[in-house]
A = this chain, B = another copy of it.
Amino acid sequence: MSEAKNIPYKIYLEESELPKYWYNVRADMKVKPAPLLHPGTLKPMTAEDLAPVFCEELIKQELDDDTREYPIPQPILDFYKMYRPSPLVRAYCLEKKLQTPAKIYYKFEGNNTSGSHKLNSAIAQAYYAKQQGLKGVTTETGAGQWGTALSMACSYFGLDCKVYMVKVSYEQKPFRREVMRTYGASVVPSPSDTTNVGRAILERFPGTTGSLGCAISEAVEVATSTPGYRYVLGSVLNQVLLHQSVIGLETKIALDKYGIVPDIIIGCAGGGSNLGGLISPFMGQKLRGEADYRIIAVEPASCPSFTRGKFAYDFCDTGKVCPMAKMYTLGSGFIPAPNHAGGLRYHGMSSILSQLYHDGYMEARTVEQTSVFRAAEEFARVEGILPAPESSHAIKVAIDEAMKCKETGEEKTIVFGLTGTGYFDLVAYEKFHNGEMTDYIPTDEDLAKGFAGIPDIGIE
């Protein structure tokens, strides 16, 4: 498509060009995402229902389907200036390597110590917690990206930060844990004896190495039972996609500055925080009928929520303590096969993205993990960045699309989200280098087990 001349390798916006507001894509959706339901009453959650768990201002954002733009508070803008703008990079070297006529750009969110885009929402959530006069927040973390981001954010605003880290990660990823400790967080291996939930699980399964579902339950229990604490979450929620819109807004400003119009926008999708953020302003144009883009969500073949999941109300956590959400889901009991190394392991998907996918505004595609790591290595060797496995899902599909352009001779413009770096994922890289990485596609029977856990609540 159209393109100006002299596109630099990296487009860095000036401080004055940075977005001053977050964009709420729900305002432009004709069919709004279905509301969260109370797991007991099955009625839509109200602000009062949510108040013991989440910060007030964040609840407002969570429930607000109408406000199009949220001004970003100045203290958050100031923090963003420490690591934003993130560069929009023209992948000249990758294009050359592939000998494709396609023009490839990626928005790189890894240049901060949390190593990913998670910091964009962590700092917002910490800010509102501080504003409310809270003492601290609790959360869970699996691999540790979100926990690291939240630790940094809490340290900046002087909030306590308690992270329940899945025990197996706590033990196998000690470095992530140390980064969090550097930022003053208290990191607890989950299950732990600090909560009722944890103690019960330890009693029933003494040798367990934990799960994300259990860690969530512990974090929520501590938040709701400790005065001055609330629980925060790094993906899936509407508020998170709102904060992450900063990724897409910056991308769009940078593209517009050089007169670049993308044909295809690609993002990896676990709970949807990155994808939702990256595509938001483009999706807004699409929803308003102002422009058209192909938007592709990429998920692991071993955890295929969009492509093989059911669109239904389901539990957001294995402990079933959280509100229920309507989303593409594999069932809250679904856990990817043990050989799964590439992140993006959540059983469900953001309600916003689920609705948009259901309504035909975006595509979804699965990729297998060995092909993901192959793409990661190819990318690293020419573009210099060691990508996170999650991000590499998007790389894989960007390369696939660029190779199609090579066949057809089309000069398409491809933009993808490079969400983070892989410095803490080298055990998986090692497996790949040693030829020990395998692929796994769940059978229909595997999926049926997960689907059996989706409750039939009689609400579509």
Q: Choose, from A135-143, A189-197, A378-386, A435-443, the stretch at the interface.
A: A378-386
Q: How many residues of A contact B (CB 8 A)?
A: 42
Q: Is the interface of A mostly helix, strand, loop or mixed?
A: helix
Partner among B81, B183, B385 whose Cβ is within 8 Å of the Cβ of A8: B81
CB pair A433–B113 under 8 Å, yes or no, is: no
Partner among B79, B81, B152, B178 whose Cβ is within 8 Å of the Cβ of A430: B178
**Complex interface residues of chain A between 416 and 438 (CB less than 8 A to chain B):** 421, 423-424, 426, 429-430, 433
Partner among B10, B93, B426 whose Cβ is within 8 Å of the Cβ of A174: B426
Known: A15-B9, A426-B175. A155 touches B381 (CB 8 A): yes
Contacts of A181 in B (CB 8 A): 429-430, 433
**Complex interface residues of chain A between 128 and 164 (CB less than 8 A to chain B):** 152, 155-156
A193 → chain B, closest Cβ, in Å? 21
Q: Is A70 an interface residue (CB 8 A)?
A: no
CB pair B179–A426 under 8 Å, yes or no, is: yes
Known: A81-B10, A82-B9. A426 touches B178 (CB 8 A): yes
Q: Is A450 an interface residue (CB 8 A)?
A: no
Q: How far is the CA of A429 from the CA of B174 in the complex (A)?
A: 11
Q: Is A12 an interface residue (CB 8 A)?
A: yes
Q: Is A112 an interface residue (CB 8 A)?
A: yes
CB pair B178–A381 under 8 Å, yes or no, is: no
Which A residues are within 8 Å of any B CB, using their own CB? 8-10, 12, 14-15, 79, 81-83, 89, 93, 111-113, 115, 152, 155-156, 174-175, 178-179, 181-184, 377, 380-386, 421, 423-424, 426, 429-430, 433
Instruction: Pull 26 A–B residue pairs with CB atoms less than 8 Å apart, ordered by A.
Output: A8-B15, A8-B81, A10-B81, A82-B89, A82-B93, A82-B383, A82-B384, A83-B384, A93-B156, A111-B111, A112-B384, A113-B385, A113-B386, A113-B421, A152-B384, A156-B381, A156-B384, A174-B430, A178-B430, A179-B426, A182-B377, A182-B386, A182-B429, A182-B433, A184-B381, A423-B423
